[in-house]
Structure 1
Amino acid sequence: MSAAQAGSPGATVLPRAARVFGDGPLSRACALIHTLLTVEGMLLLTLAPSMLGLLFLGADPANLPLAALCLVPLGPSLSAALYALHHRSRELTELRPARVCLRGLRLNSCAALRIWVPLLAWLTVIAYGLTHFAATGLPGWWAVLLGVIGVGVLLWGAHALVLTALFTFRTIDTARLAGYFLLRHGRATLGAASLLVLVTAATLWWTEALPLLLAPVLLLSLLHTSRPMIAETQEDFTA
């Protein structure tokens, strides 16, 4: 028997690596589910007055300006949810998603509103024009053009909200970066477009409440497809 095996004074005994509670795949999955459910609860809580207002308004196109006013809190809420999902903990013992979401709401609300309010105004004008298009007497290709502009505004808005949630830039710089990344990172733009199609289909074929219920999963997917954009922003546009 060797000296190491016999436990002689010169032997080095290496301790066996112990598994830490909360670092297994099942624990990480539970942490993710807990974070998603908490973010969903925070979204429902912050958007409850808006949803109540939309229920009272109904689906009359004449109410579009009032509906847009009800949706003003949606921008800061989405920004806070993106912040919480990006900074989520992978360990069960370090889960504080509600606190992180509130921090994101406090840090990003003003910046998100400066992006979201003009975006919402543009979308309201486009939606109002499309719903009353027959009364304008314009050729049909104008409706197609308005639809294309609306999709472009939504994709730009998705990039802008991600940048607003994760970085601190001037509003004009955020707007420019969002426009730059529309063509710079086609994968991120395509991912946002796919989510837009999914949300539209869920709203038209099932219920408008379904995208809200799936919002944390959709936002997590948006963060995943936006990783190249986030990485380039960190490397090239932050100190």
Structure 2
Amino acid sequence: MSDTAARSLRGFGQGPLSRVSALVYSLLAVELLFLATALPGLAGLVLLDRSAGNVPLAAACALPLGPALSAALYALRRRGRDLADLRPAAAFWRGYRANVRGVLKIWVPWLAGMTVIGTNLANFGAAGVPGWWAVLLVLVAVAATLWAGNALVITSLFEFRPVDVARLAVYFFGRRPAVTLANLSLLVVAGGLTLVVTEAAVALLAAGFLAVLLWNSRSMVEEVEREFTA
């Protein structure tokens, strides 16, 4: 083999175009796997009417999304940089099996809280309470969702007890304000897309949103690795 050919082989998958192609391939593969594992819940969410009585049903439909999101985060985090080592499907299923129990211990309480808040907001007119109460409920829901984002990233990438994941998520909520603000911006975009279009639009872009969530959370992930793992 000539030196030129050897250099070409060593350089395979290292150029900008190869890296972009690898990223696109990983995002598409993870997106398809996410949709496959979350499909029953996503179908229910899309078909449900946006009425007060359907809030608990929407929460039940969202149950499969937690493990699917966790597996997608795991796969994207461990995405190979070499085109010859791209195995997002194997990483996705490994993350799904490893994280399903732990993530549900975070996901289910968050969904329960969102169900209570959503039901109260949906029936706000009949409750006869001051208007500022609705604002408070929205702020609590946003804070809880940002906490859930931190917890989802931590429990997807590390092996901690659920109570420790919950504490770390709260800790980094104030410890890393840049992460919190970046994730708030992501939440606003996702929420706006849901209101203007449909939940299906966010689901079809889930891998992209999760990639951005990982990018936003990189300083938090690095600190967890440095300070809280052996």
TM (norm. structure 1) is 0.91
Other-structure match for 1:137: 128
Q: Would you say 1:203 and 2:172 are equivalent positions? A: no
> Which amino acid in structure 2 is aligned with residue 144 of structure 1?
V
Cα root mean square deviation, aligned: 1.3
Alignment of 1:125-164 (within 5 A): 125-164=116-155
Of 173, 179, 182, the match for 1:188: 179
If you compute each CA radius of gyration, which structure gives the higher value, 1 or 2? 1
Q: Would you say 1:219 and 2:210 are equivalent positions? A: yes
Structure 1 runs (4+) deviating above 4 angstroms are none
* SS state at 1:18 partner: helix
Q: Hey, what's the Cα distance between the residues in 1 that align with 2:195 and 2:23?
A: 29
Q: Hey, what's the Cα distance between the residues in 1 that align with 2:48 and 2:218?
A: 38
Q: CA deviation at 1:92?
A: 1.2
> Which amino acid in structure 2 is aligned with residue 62 of structure 1?
G
> Which amino acid in structure 1 is aligned with residue 196 of structure 2?
W
Q: Hey, what's the Cα distance between the residues in 2 that align with 1:54 and 1:215?
A: 15
Q: Hey, what's the Cα distance between the residues in 1 that align with 2:24 and 2:13?
A: 14
Equivalent residues of 2:34, 2:68 under 8 A apart: yes
Other-structure match for 1:114: 105
Q: Hey, what's the Cα distance between the residues in 1 that align with 2:133 and 2:80?
A: 48
After superposition, give the CA deviation of every residue in 1:172-209 in whole Å (9 maximum; x if it has no partner).
10000000100100111111101100001111122221
Of 101, 104, 119, the match for 2:92: 101
Task: Pick the structure with more helix per residue.
Answer: 2
Q: Would you say 1:176 and 2:188 are equivalent positions? A: no
> Which amino acid in structure 2 is aligned with residue 105 of structure 1?
Y
Q: Would you say 1:123 and 2:120 are equivalent positions? A: no
Other-structure match for 2:7: 18
Other-structure match for 1:74: 65
* SS state at 2:7 partner: coil
> Which amino acid in structure 1 is aligned with residue 188 of structure 2?
V
> Which amino acid in structure 2 is aligned with residue 136 of structure 1?
A
Equivalent residues of 2:51, 2:122 under 8 A apart: no
Q: Hey, what's the Cα distance between the residues in 1 that align with 2:7 and 2:203?
A: 41
Instruction: List gaps (5 residues or longer) in structure 2.
Output: none
Sequence identity of aligned pairs in percent?
51
> Which amino acid in structure 1 is aligned with residue 163 of structure 2?
I
TM (norm. structure 2) is 0.94
Equivalent residues of 2:18, 2:83 under 8 A apart: yes
> Which amino acid in structure 1 is aligned with residue 160 of structure 2?
F
After superposition, give the CA deviation of every residue in 1:128-161 in whole Å (9 maximum; x if it has no partner).
1001011111101111110100000000000000
Q: Would you say 1:87 and 2:78 are equivalent positions? A: yes
Q: CA deviation at 1:213?
A: 1.2
Q: CA deviation at 1:56?
A: 4.1
Q: Hey, what's the Cα distance between the residues in 2 that align with 1:43 and 1:130?
A: 30
* SS state at 1:201 partner: helix
Of stretches 19-28 and 141-150 in structure 1, the one that deviates more from structure 2 is 19-28
